[in-house]
Structure 1
Amino acid sequence: MTEEYIYAVARVRSRELNLLSRQDVDQLMACRTYDECLRTLSDKGWGDGDPSAEAILAAEEEKTWAFIHELTDDLTPFKVLLYPTDYNNLKAAVKAVVTGAEPRDVFLPGGAVDPELMLRCVREGDFSELPETMAAAADEAYHTLLQTEDGQLCDVILDRACIADLLQCGRESGVEILRDYAELTAAVSDIKIAVRACKTGKSRAFLDAALAPCGTLDASSLAVAACKSLDDLFAYLSVTPYGEAAEKLRESYSAFEKYCDDRVMDLIKEQKMNPFTVGPLFAYVLARRNEISTVRIILSGKLNELDDGMIRERLRDMYV
C-alpha cells in the first residue's frame, strides 16, 4: 500500500466520526416540523448557507467528493459510482439533440465525463472522444432514437451499457468491495427491470435486450420467469442469493429499496477493519450517500406530515 492511502485512510477514519449515527437520526425524527429538521441539520454543519432542503443535500454530496479529491488524484476506483450519472447525462444529451430541445437543467452534476462534451459528440455524430464502451452505446442509442423515436429503447441501450461498464470496472479493480458492490448493483438493476417488465407485460425480446448478465443471477432464467408472472419471478429469486429481495418485493417496493440499501451497508461495514486499500475511501462515499438518502426520507416525511412510524419503516441502516 502506498503512503498516499495510509494517510488517506487515516483521514477517512477521522471524518467517519462526523457521520450521522442512529442517535442523530432519532434526533431528526424527534423534530416536530420540517423547518425544525432543517434547523437541526444546519446546527450539525450541513449545507452551505442556502436553507432549502435540496440545496443542503446537494452541498453535502459536493463536500463528499471534494474530500475524496483531497485524498487522491486517482478516481478510477470511483467510476463504479460515477457511471450512473454519466449515462443519465448521456441519455439527456441524446434526447435533447434528437428532439431539438434546449438542454436546460437536464444534466446531473458529479459525473466523470463533461456533459457538454457529450452534447457536442451527439450533435456532431462523432463519439470518438468518449470512453470506448460509452461511445459505442451512444452511437447505437442515438441512431436507434432517430430511426424509431422510441425513448424507452434508447434508455434500455444506455442502461445496459452502464451496467456493463460498472461490472467491468469492479472486476478489473482488484478490490473486493468494488467488485462486490458492482455485482450487487447489477443484480438489483436486473431485478428492478424484471419486476417492471412483468407488471407491464413486456416481451421476452425486451427483457433479453434490457437485462445485463451478471454473476449472481442468470439473465435467461430471470427473463423466462418475468414473462410468466410475479409469483414465478419471486420463485426464481428465492433460489438465488436474493431470496430476501423476493420477500421484500411481496411486502412493498419501498421495503425492497430499503433492503437494497441495507445490503450495501452490510458490504461496506466490513471496510472498518481494512486499513490497507482504497476500500475505506469507497465505503466512506457510500456511507455519506446513505446518510444523505436517509435525511431526504426524513425531510420528505416531515414535509408531507407522514406518521413517524411510516417514516421509520423507510429509514436505512447507518454506517456508524
Structure 2
Amino acid sequence: MAKNDYTYAVARIRAREGKLLSASFLEQLVSAPDCDSCIRLLREKGWGDKDGEAPFELLSKERERLWELMEELVGDLSVFNVFLYGNDYHNLKAAIKETCMDVHLPGIYISHGTVDPEVIQTAVSKKLFSELPSTMQTPARTAYETLLTTHDGQLCDVILDRAALTAVYQAGKDSGNEFLALYGELTVAAADIKIAYRALRTGKEPDFLTQALVPCDSLDLPSLIEASGKGRKGLSEYLKTTAYGKGTDALDVSCSAFERWCDNLLIQRIRPQLHVPFGLGPLAAYILARENEIKSVRIILSGKINHLPEESLRERVRETYV
C-alpha cells in the first residue's frame, strides 16, 4: 500500500493523540494514595469500560482497544508484524511449558499475534510443529525437546527469545519502512545489551552469549561478547563506542534502569512522527506510544498494590509521547 493511502488513517490518529496520557497525568497517578484512586483517575480519562474491572483487566482492555482501532484503520494488520511476533513467541513459550509440565495456566495466552493462540497450543500439544509458520517450526521443536529432556526452562526461553528477536528484526528490515526498521534495530540491540549484562553478572560463558545474542547493525557481537567477559567496566567501555553510550549510566544502576532508558530513547526517536502527515510511521508511533503508556500505568498500579514509595515509581515511569 502506498504511503499516501494512510492519509485518512493518520488524520484519525491525530485526533486521538491528544487523548494520550501526559507526563503531568502520570505524575498524578504516582501521587495518588492507592490503586483505587489511580483507577478512578484513569476512568475519568476514558480507560476501561465497566465498573469493578480488576486493574490489569483494565490494561488488557486498553490493548484490545488499540489493536481494534488499528485493524479498523489499516485492515490488514500484517503491516505491523514487527510488533506482533513477540506475542506469537510468548504464546509458543506458554504452550510448550503447559504441554511439557502437563499443567493448565489460565490467562497465559495473549491476543494480537500473527498466529491464533489456539493454533499454537494445538500444534504443540499434538507435536504437529509443521502446522506452525515455517520460521517457528524449528525453534518450537527445539525448545520443546530441550525442555522435555533437560527440564531447563532458561535454555528453552533462550531458544524462543532468540527466535522472537530474529523475527522482529527481519520484519523490520523487510518492511521497507525506515521507522519499522528502526524499531527492529533498537529492540534487538537493547535485548542483546541486557543479555550481555545479565551474563556477566551470572558468570555465563561466552558460548551462552553466542547462542543467545541476535546480530544487528548497531552492535558488533564479537566485541560485545568480549566486553562482557571483562566485567561491567569492559561492557561500559564498549558501549560508549556505540549509539548506546549514553545508556551506560543507567546500566550501571540496574538492568531495569537501562530498559527504561531504551524505552525513552525509542519514544524520543518516534516523536518526529507527530508532524508526518501520511505513511505507516505515524500509525506505528501511535502504537508504541499507547503500549508505552500502558506499560507506565502497569508499573504504577503494581507499585500501588505493593506499596512502593512514590520516588521508586518515578524512577520507573517512561517518558510520554506527547
Using the size of structure 2 for normalisation, the TM-score is: 0.93
Aligned partner (choices 247, 252, 260) of residue 258 of structure 1:
260
CA distance in 1, matches of 2:142, 2:185: 25
How many Å apart are 1:159 and its aligned residue?
Answer: 0.9
TM-score (structure 1 length as normaliser): 0.94
Identify if the C-alpha distance between structure 1 residues 44 and 227 changes in structure 2 by more than 3 Å, giving closer, same or farther: same
Deviating more after overlay: 218-227 vs 182-191: 218-227
Q: Give the distance between the partners of 1:90 and 1:157, measured in 2 at CA.
A: 11
Alignment of 1:7 onto 2:20: no
SS at match of 1:95: helix
In structure 2, give the amino acid aligned to 1:225: A
Moved over 4 A (4+): none
In the TM superposition, residue 123 of structure 1 has moved relative to its aligned partner by 2.7
* 1:156 partnered with 2:158: yes
Post-superposition Cα deviations, 1:11-65, rounded to whole Å, max 9, x if no partner, equal: 0111111111223223333433332221111111111214321111111111111
Paired residues of 1:77 and 1:178 also in contact (CA < 8 A)? no
Query: Aligned partners of 1:26, 1:106: CA distance in 2, in Å?
Result: 31
Structure 1: runs of 5+ lacking an equivalent: none
Cα 1:20–1:133 shift into 2, 3 Å: same
User: Which residue number in structure 2 is paired with residue 225 of structure 1?
Assistant: 227
Cα distance in 2, alignment partners of residues 305 and 97 from structure 1: 36
CA drift at 1:255: 2.3
| Higher deviation after alignment, 126-135 or 300-309 | 300-309
Q: What residue identity is the alignment partner of 1:22?
A: A
Which residue of structure 2 lines up, in the alignment, with residue 87 of structure 1?
Answer: 89
Matched-pair contact (CA < 8 Å) for 1:77–1:169: no
Once the two structures are TM-superposed, the CA of residue 116 in structure 1 deviates from its matched residue by: 1.7
Gaps of 5+ in 2: none
Deviation of the 1:133 alpha carbon: 1.1
1:59 paired to 2:28: no
Distance 1:298 1:127, change over 3 A: same
Q: Distance in 2 between matches of 1:152 and 1:309?
A: 32
Q: For structure 1, which segment, 105-114 or 59-68, has the greater mean C-alpha deviation from structure 2 after superposition?
A: 105-114
Cα pair distance change 1:96/1:26, threshold 3 Å: closer
Letter in 2 for 1:24: F
Q: Which structure carries more relative contact order (alpha carbon 8 Å, separation 6+)?
A: 2
AA aligned to 1:252 is S
Matched, 1:248 2:262: no
Q: CA deviation at 1:3?
A: 6.0
Give distance in 2, aligned partners of 1:160 and 1:219. 14
What's the offset of the Cα at 1:216?
0.6
Partner of 2:26: 25
Identical-pair percentage: 48
* 1:285 pairs with one of 284, 287, 292: 287
Equivalent of 1:136, from 129, 135, 138?
Answer: 138
- What is the distance in 2 between the residues matched to 1:193 and 1:314? 20
Partner Cα separation in structure 1 for residue 157 and residue 312 of structure 2 = 33
Amino acid at match of 1:58: S
The C-alpha deviation readout for 1:277-316, integer Å capped at 9, x for no partner, is 1111111111111111222222233334433333222221
Cα gap change, 1:126 to 1:272, in 2 (>3 Å) = same
| 1:121-200 to 2 correspondences below 5 Å | 121-200=123-202
Question: Cα distance 1:192–1:96, how it changes in 2: closer, same or farther (>3 A)?
Answer: same
Equivalent in 207, 210, 232 of residue 208 of structure 1: 210
CA deviation vs aligned residue, 1:175-194 (integer Å, no higher than 9, x gap):
11100010000001111111
Give distance in 2, aligned partners of 1:319 and 1:173: 23
In 1, are the aligned partners of 2:84 and 2:114 still within 8 Å (CA)? yes
